[in-house]
Amino acid sequence: MASVAKDGKSKRVQFIDPESGCRRGISLPRCSARDAETIAGHVEELISAKIRGRAASPATAAWLTDIGNTLYERIVKIGLVEPRHKAPTTTLGQFTSDYIDSRRSDAKPRTIINLSVSRRELVRFFGEDRAMGEITSGHAIEFRSAMLGRGLADNTVRRHLGRARQFFAAAIDKGLIQKNPFFHKQIKVAVRGNPERRHFISREVIDRVLAVCEDDPQWQTIIGLGRYAGLRTPSETLALKWSDIDWANNLITVHCPKLERLERHATRTIPLFAELQPILLRAHAESPEGNDFVIHGRLRKGCGNWRTQFERLIRRSGQEPWGCPFQNLRSSREVELSEVFPWFTVCTWMGHSREVAAEHYMSVPAEHIARAVAGVIAPSQIRAESVQSVHAEPCKTSQDQRSEDDKTAFCGQKTRGCDTLRTQDIAPYTPKGSRTPVSRMRT
């Protein structure tokens, strides 16, 4: 039977060797009396398993897995367990390369490219042969600082850190490492919106660009789908087919490759906006017979060069290209729609949440500032008008007195005159089974 004995200031587990019959002992690292008794119990279980020629109990087997190398080696010396097999070192370069190869069958080509770029950054900093288990959170913070020091944008750094976290999470799932060094409070991976790169592209600006490519209906369609339908370019634009357009009901079914893994977000339905109709009708009339894709031919094959071509068209229109050219087409449309429709409707049409819209899409057009400056009134007048609006009289402004802009909604539809609700009597309501009507209400 194993027992605990004091050995000066330390402790020992003593037992009788079943083979030689001699007393033997295991020096213990500094530990409490309770821990020493636990160790003695597991040693006794190992002795019993060796005598009976069976495997140790699951509890003792799990304990052997968890203990440190120092104590384990001392148990090996007395012949109660076999030496641990050292797992081959997992190097950063080899594992990340194998991981990317394993994702080629289920990931999109752009995802593979992004993972490869982040792998290049990791290998550049840590080296191909660096053991993944040696990389700590401190090293990860140094990696982040090095990328920022090279002038990489904060969002770019966050994306690389997020993919690095993805690599190390996969290594943990395979049991190759124990901890993900990229989970740390100083390491942020969520991409934030950048207001400095957001620009509202007015209709006047986009009309000039559309005029420049008057002889190219394909490019007019790409620009129109981005600015007037708010499609993601190029993914959703390339996925759009003529069969997705319901001409009779003025609806478009948009396929979203970015979110197709999510069943409820793989497609969405948007209106066939009035501004977009003539552009699509012309493109449909000139589309080759038998072709179902809205964008076809050379532009479909060379979509990787769309930004360069778009910026060239902007310069030909006599304007300077703006940052994130296609993203700002989409965000400008969202700003316009938000002036007319509720946020839930707009976010449903755009295919994202309200939080994403606020973080990455919404901007303040210069026109809003001008309108606010032109219509500034005193706070006392605001309070007075808010009180008067409760008992508003029918609108007496004639339609001729309103500006042409007020007559037309942003989609080109005529608006009705001012439909201020009039105060009117509601017929008395008599509850069922009662002869007394409820007092007359006003609304």
Model confidence band, residue 1 (pLDDT cutoffs 50, 70, 90): low
- How confident is residue 360, by pLDDT bands cut at 50, 70 and 90? low
Within 10 angstroms of residue 226's Cβ, the number of other Cβ atoms is 26
Q: For the whole model, what pTM was predicted?
A: 0.55
Gyration radius of the chain over CA positions: 36
The average confidence (pLDDT) of the chain is: 81
Residues 342 and 217 in one domain: yes
Whether the predicted pLDDT of 271 surpasses 70 = yes
Pair 215, 355 in one domain: yes
Range of the domain at 41: 3-77
Structural domain ending residue among the three candidates 323, 338, 360: 360
Q: What is the pLDDT of residue 409?
A: 40
Q: What is the DSSP letter of 241?
A: B
Name the pLDDT band for 366 (thresholds 50, 70, 90).
low
Q: How far apart are CA 132 and CA 113, in angstroms?
A: 22
Residues 188, 42 share a domain? no
Q: Quick one: DSSP state of residue 427?
A: -
The answer on 323 and 215 residing in a single domain is yes
**Segment 49-98, tens digit of pLDDT:** 888 888 889 899 888 888 888 888 888 888 888 887 766 788 999 999 99
- Helix-, strand-, coil-residue percentages of the chain, each rounded to 5: 50, 10, 40
281 band by pLDDT with thresholds 50, 70 and 90: very high
Is the N-terminal amide bond of 431 cis, ω within 30° of 0?
A: no
For residues 169 and 172, give the distance between their C-alpha atoms in angstroms, rounded to a whole number. 5
Looking at residue 75, its pLDDT comes to 85
Same structural domain, 204 and 179: no
pLDDT value of residue 36: 84
Residue 162: how many CA atoms within 13 Å on its side-chain side?
13
**Per-residue pLDDT tens for 110-125?**
899 999 999 999 999 9
**For 175, left (φ over 0), alpha (ψ -120 to 50), or beta?**
left
Terminal-to-terminal C-alpha distance of the chain: 92
* Residue indicated by tokens 């703006």: 322
What is the residue whose two structure tokens read 């944008």?
Answer: 153
In a 3-state reduction of DSSP, which class is residue 6? strand
In this prediction, residue 125 carries a pLDDT of 96
Do 183 and 262 belong together in one domain? no
Same domain, 43 and 116: no
Three-state secondary structure string covering 246-257? ECCCCEEEEECH
Question: What CATH number is given to the structural domain containing 340?
Answer: 1.10.443.10
The set of long-range contacts for 306-311, using a CB threshold of 8 Å and a minimum separation of 24, is 306/222, 306/233, 306/234, 309/219, 310/219, 310/222, 310/223
Supply the pLDDT for residue 121: 96
The reported pLDDT for the residue numbered 378 is 41
- The two three-digit tokens of residue 244, written as one number: 């997705």
11 vs 114 pLDDT, higher one: 114
Per-residue CA distances from 408 to 360, 368, 371, 414, 415 (Å): 29, 18, 17, 5, 6
Question: What would you measure as the largest C-alpha separation in the chain, in angstroms?
Answer: 114
CA–CA separation, 79 vs 65, rounded Å?
A: 17
- Under DSSP, is residue 11 helix (H, G, I), strand (E, B) or coil? strand
Q: Is residue 384 part of a domain?
A: no
Q: What would the pLDDT profile of 315-337 be if each residue is shown by its tens digit?
A: 999 999 998 899 899 999 998 99
Alpha-carbon span 6 to 30, nearest angstrom: 11
User: Can you tell me the mean pLDDT for 245-253?
Assistant: 95
| 401 pLDDT higher than 70 | no
Residue 32 domain flag: yes
> Is the model more confident about 46 or about 409?
46
- Whether 132 shows a pLDDT value over 90: the answer reads yes
Given 139, 174, 192, which residue is the final one in a domain?
192
Q: What is the CATH number of the domain that holds 114?
A: 1.10.150.130
Is residue 377, in this structure, part of any structural domain at all? no
221 and 321 assigned to the same domain: yes
Count of domains observed in the chain: 3
145-195: pLDDT as tens digits: 999 999 998 889 999 999 999 999 999 999 888 889 999 998 998 887 676
Indicate whether 205 and 353 sit together in one domain.
yes
Digit-coded pLDDT (tens) for 199-216: 899 999 999 999 999 999
Measured torsion, CA atoms of residues 330, 336, 339, 344, in degrees rounded to the nearest 10: -30
pLDDT at 415 over 50: no
Position 198, amino acid: R
Residue with tokens 């500034």: 376
Residue 402 has pLDDT above 70, yes or no: no
Among the candidates 22, 48, 77, a domain finishes at: 77
| Identity of the residue numbered 154 | D
For range 429-440, the mean pLDDT: 46
Residues 103 and 115: beta-carbon distance below 8 Å: yes
